[in-house]
Amino acid sequence: MRSNITILTLLALSAGLSFSEAVPAHDPPPQNIYVTNLKAEDVPNDAGGELLVTWDLPAGPASKLSVLRLLRAENPEGPFSKVVEMAPGISEYTDQGLADGRKYFYRIDAVTDDGMFASPVSAPANPQSSWFNSQRVSLLMALAVFAGLVLFFIWRARKGAALFVRRITGLSAVDEAIGRATEMGRPILYLPSGGLSAVSDIQTLASLVILGRVAEKAAEYETPLLVPCSDPLVMTLAQEIVKASYLNVGRPDAYRAENIRYLTNEQFAYTAGVDGIMLREKPAANFMIGTFYAESLILAETGYATGAIQIAGTAMITQLPFFVAACDYTLIGEEIYAASAYLSKEPVLMGTIKAQDWGKAIAIALIIIGLILETLALKYPQLHFFASRWLSSQ
């Protein structure tokens, strides 16, 4: 045996090689050169259950890297389960659906042409829910300002201050329509909603407020007021509102409960019933204010055919064109809410309308300021941070 080793050594020396070169050593075990600085941390400003996993990739083009596999475990020794497979260029991932307060460990397996290389296991991280979203500070400030405006204007209205609300054209025609019905000796028809709305609809509530004003005028002029309803609760509220309006003007004896009637809650059955009232009673003024759907055109066309002056209003944008085409005056969108405040002079409604106006003015001013700052940020980049941080929500 010793002679064999000596012979090999002599042969290597004769060839001009060292013994170590003649018998190459094994290559060192492969090291992970693809994924470094792996770490996981809680996602800030969230509702919990999320961790942000980040890592670094090699600076040069990783031509041999084909897939990155993110694995997760609740112990550093494993077992690890695959979370997702990603393309080579990705360097972060948000892991969702986790349990708050539980520790998680991560590892990334880089699959290459030469095999799979596992990264070191990350430090433990546990997801937590945030009590406060620091990215929404601007929205919190806006909410506080608007709430302050609402309370301030309600306080002023209750103190008797005269709050200006722009008069809407349709409101100017209310007295004209009621006066026309009185001169012609024909009734007034008021629809507080269409065939599908309920008392919980905000448009229906606004319409009932306007109904109170119309009922006062009708009682003052001794003109019959017809209010067909498609909801029994709306009918009950309408009866009480009309009764109170007649009492306010000193004409409780002129109130007729049977004129505020319930027809049906079926959409087109209600529409047919109202059309029948229009054709039989021939009202000289039709008020259609509230939530309306497909029945809007049928009602408006029938009223137009009877020659009545018609005042309509709704926030349903798909029905507004029909009212505009067939009615004399139309309250568009939020004008019905402004109309209810204008006619009732209720302090809460007046204060809210004024606060909305001021809120819109402030919003417009902030938009203009933001445009100016973003334009100046082309030369002064620090202004961009102010506009993006305080004038926009993330």
Q: Which helix (H) or strand (E) holds 8?
A: helix 2-14
Domains of the chain: 36-118 (2.60.40.10), 134-155+349-390 (no CATH), 163-345 (3.40.50)
**Does residue 110 sit in helix, strand or coil?**
strand
Q: Quote the pTM value.
A: 0.64
Confidence of residue 30 (pLDDT cuts 50, 70, 90): very low
Q: pLDDT tens digit string along 269-303? A: 999 999 999 999 999 999 999 999 999 999 999 99
If one compares 14 and 180, the residue with the highest pLDDT of the two is 180
Which whole-number Å values give the CA distances from 12 to 16, 26, 27, in the listed order?
6, 19, 22
Output the six-digit token pair for 373.
């700052």
Examine the pLDDT at 1 and tell me if it is beyond 90: no
* Ramachandran region, residue 339 (left: φ > 0; alpha: ψ -120 to 50; beta: rest): alpha
Confidence of residue 28 (pLDDT cuts 50, 70, 90): very low
d(CA 191, CA 63): 73
Handedness of CA 321, 322, 328, 333 (dihedral sign): negative
Which whole-number Å values give the CA distances from 4 to 9, 10, 16, 304, in the listed order?
9, 10, 19, 120
DSSP 219-284: HHHT--EEEEESSHHHHHHHHHHHHHHHHHTT-GGG--GGGEEE--SSHHHHHHHHHHHHHHH--S
> What angle is formed at CA 278 by the lines to CA 273 and CA 284, rounded to 5 degrees?
150
Q: pLDDT tens digit string along 303-330? A: 999 999 999 999 999 999 999 999 999 9
Q: pLDDT tens digit string along 163-172? A: 887 777 777 7
Q: pLDDT tens digit string along 84-139? A: 998 888 889 999 988 888 999 999 988 887 778 888 899 999 998 888 887 777 78
| Long-range Cβ pairs for the range 176-182 (8 Å, 24+) | 176/309, 177/284, 177/285, 177/287, 177/309, 177/311, 178/214, 178/217, 178/218, 178/221, 178/223, 178/285, 179/221, 180/284, 180/285, 180/309, 181/223, 181/283, 181/284, 181/285, 182/221, 182/222, 182/223
Of the given ranges (57-61, 210-214, 306-310), which has the lowest mean pLDDT? Answer: 57-61
d(CA 302, CA 279): 8
Nearest residue to 170 (alpha-carbon basis) of 350, 302, 358, 340: 340
d(CA 327, CA 297): 10
